[in-house]
Structure 1
Amino acid sequence: MPSIPFTALTCPLDGEPLNQQESSWRCANGHSFDVARQGYIHLLPVQKKKSRDPGDSKEMVAARQRFLQKGFYRPISEGISEAVRTGIESANPFRCLDAGCGEGYYLRQLAQTLPDDRDCELIGNDISKWAVLKAAQQDRRAVRWVVASNANLPVESDTLDCVLSLFGFPVYSEFYRVLKEGGLLVQVDAGPDHLRELREIIYPELKPPADKRAVPAGFESLDEIRVTYQMTLDNREDIQDLLAMTPHLYRARADGKARAEALDSLTVTVDAVIQAFRKKEPKMQAVG
């Protein structure tokens, strides 16, 4: 997989194209954004933040990195890679965005499975500076990492062959804008049984899962894959990392978290739904 630096970036303040000038990116209106020494670009202006330090905390990112590096979610990454390879056909170069990339695990796994004869321009964004920092520390050459919001993607319109939205917060209007006509959206959500055993321990009762399988406006459904299996965590550290990398750490009451923290082993169900969508051609309006 020969990698080409992704350059179709736009200014988060005015939407103008950004051009790289040594260690910074500038638009025609003079807005400038420095490249951090770790290699990532911060494209989330202060005025567009909803909190001082948005997104996953440093501790959540570290827990997710430790957990994913042990391969517990590898079947999910394999399903994502299969959905992408099936849907992208012959795009060359292949331009792909991981929207809400976290510490970059799934995008790195995808990169390793792409054909050797295809050039790739890969970009990952996340609203958490801690997540993007960790992603850049692990791979600053093959992927362009940026701090940015899905609600205001700093990417030129109609430039991407694929967008990944994995256990995240999809903004379909932005995904539609940045994808080329016929572009692929691969979305992963938790299935109804995902981490059920852990949830039964920390919550007094389980709420019915939300249905996230509607087809987004402007897209057509291609395929759906459900990845379900059981994994056994045989030490307290892995259990705590799993809890810390999920929203359950903040949603659970103190007594529920205490029960989880007392566990020495846990067998838990993984249940993920992988959906693939294609950006439809815009409808032609009748004339006359």
Structure 2
Amino acid sequence: MPLLALEHLLCPLDQHPLHRDGKTWRCSNNHCFDIAKQGYVNLLPVQNKKSLDPGDSQIMIQARRQFLDSGAYAPLGQALAEAVAELCGQHSELAILDAGCGEGYYLNTVCTNLLNARPELALTATGLDISKWAVRTTRSRNSGINGLVASNRQIPLPDNSQDILLCTFGFPVFSEFQRVVKAGGHIVMVDPGPEHLIELRQQIYEEIRRSPPASLAAGLNDKWQLSSDTALRFSTPKLSAELFEQLLIMTPHLYRASKAGRERAAKLEDLALSADVSIRVISHLA
């Protein structure tokens, strides 16, 4: 069964329901949002933009796609797909939102894994990102994925509409996440651990910080509890100079490093990196 199209959205200007009318989404106050030729809809109001082209740039997204398509992070994609499959149980219908989808690698991996195992599953998958370049690339990777240009601070989806929400190396807004996830649903967080890319960081920084994964305290309460915490560690294949360049472009490290650090990083090649990632699940206690 192919991925399903979204049937319900919220207007970012008044929170009224949006209804699709041909190539436009329209609310009762006649606010209209056109569907781009690439198949996504931009629901990020101008007044909420901090720049003319918010989020990751086209160059960053292209670098991320090339790096991830190399298979360097394939163990993470597979582990995330398996974690989601376990959470799904025997759902006959499933709605998944990737909040901060980037170029779509992880969401597409999750969807492919689910549908390969259960072709009859009625699956609606949505990739949301503040970067139009990210959403465009997600759609080009898999045109069945619904694409939304929007912010995690104002997710244009109805309350209790998603079974699973992914946030992979992203910026969580737990109040919004919990609003859109159904009772009994799950928020899956992927965050770097203290040894993540340690070999690269040793080259570009004078001082290395080994920080634990980001705290989830803001997302926990009587109804939302941490139900799973898995540490995933693996080594990438040896990376070429080109892959190192793509990795630097797609991460904040390039912009945080000193000039000397960037020069050292530019010489890296034929080196494997350590991946250290935490996959944590916050579940709603229905």
TM bracket, shorter-chain basis: over 0.9
Query: Which deviates further from its counterpart, 216-225 or 109-118?
Result: 216-225
Indicate if the aligned counterparts of 2:195 and 2:210 stay in contact, CA closer than 8 A.
no
Indicate if the aligned counterparts of 1:233 and 1:239 stay in contact, CA closer than 8 A.
no
Hey, what does 2:46 align to over in structure 1? 46
Secondary structure, aligned partner of 1:271: strand
**Cα distance in 2 between the residues matched to 1:49 and 1:244:** 23
Hey, what does 2:64 align to over in structure 1? 64
**TM-score when scaled to structure 2?**
0.94
Hey, what does 2:170 align to over in structure 1? 168
Indicate if the aligned counterparts of 1:91 and 1:161 stay in contact, CA closer than 8 A.
no
Q: CA RMSD in A?
A: 1.3
**Cα distance in 1 between the residues matched to 2:210 and 2:73:** 23
Hey, what does 1:8 align to over in structure 2? 8
Hey, what does 2:146 align to over in structure 1? 144
**Cα distance in 2 between the residues matched to 1:188 and 1:211:** 9
TM-fit CA distance, 1:210: 4.5
**Cα distance in 2 between the residues matched to 1:12 and 1:271:** 37
* 1:224-239 → structure 2 map (5 Å cutoff): 224-239=229-244
How many correspondences in the alignment? Answer: 280
TM-fit CA distance, 1:155: 0.3
- For residues 31-57 of structure 1, give each alpha carbon's deviation from its aligned partner in whole angstroms, at most 9, with x where no partner exists: 000010111111101101122221111
C-alpha distance 12-59 of structure 1, shift in aligned 2 (>3 A): same
- For residues 164-199 of structure 1, give each alpha carbon's deviation from its aligned partner in whole angstroms, at most 9, with x where no partner exists: 000000110000000011111111000110000000
Indicate if the aligned counterparts of 1:19 and 1:25 stay in contact, CA closer than 8 A.
yes
Indicate if the aligned counterparts of 1:228 and 1:270 stay in contact, CA closer than 8 A.
yes
Gaps of 5+ in 1: 282-288
Hey, what does 1:255 align to over in structure 2? 260
**Cα distance in 1 between the residues matched to 2:38 and 2:210:** 42
* 1:83-102 → structure 2 map (5 Å cutoff): 83-102=83-102
In the alignment, does 2:122 pair up with 1:119? Answer: yes
TM-fit CA distance, 1:276: 1.0
**Cα distance in 2 between the residues matched to 1:222 and 1:44:** 33
* 1:189-268 → structure 2 map (5 Å cutoff): 189-215=191-217, 216-218=219-221, 219-268=224-273
Match of 1:179 among 174, 181, 190: 181
Hey, what does 1:286 align to over in structure 2? none
Indicate if the aligned counterparts of 2:63 and 2:250 stay in contact, CA closer than 8 A.
yes
Amino acid at match of 1:267: A
TM-fit CA distance, 1:211: 4.2
Indicate if the aligned counterparts of 1:151 and 1:171 stay in contact, CA closer than 8 A.
yes
Hey, what does 2:32 align to over in structure 1? 32
Question: What percentage of residue pairs aligned between the two structures are identical?
Answer: 41
Gaps of 5+ in 2: none
TM-fit CA distance, 1:222: 1.2
Amino acid at match of 1:91: H
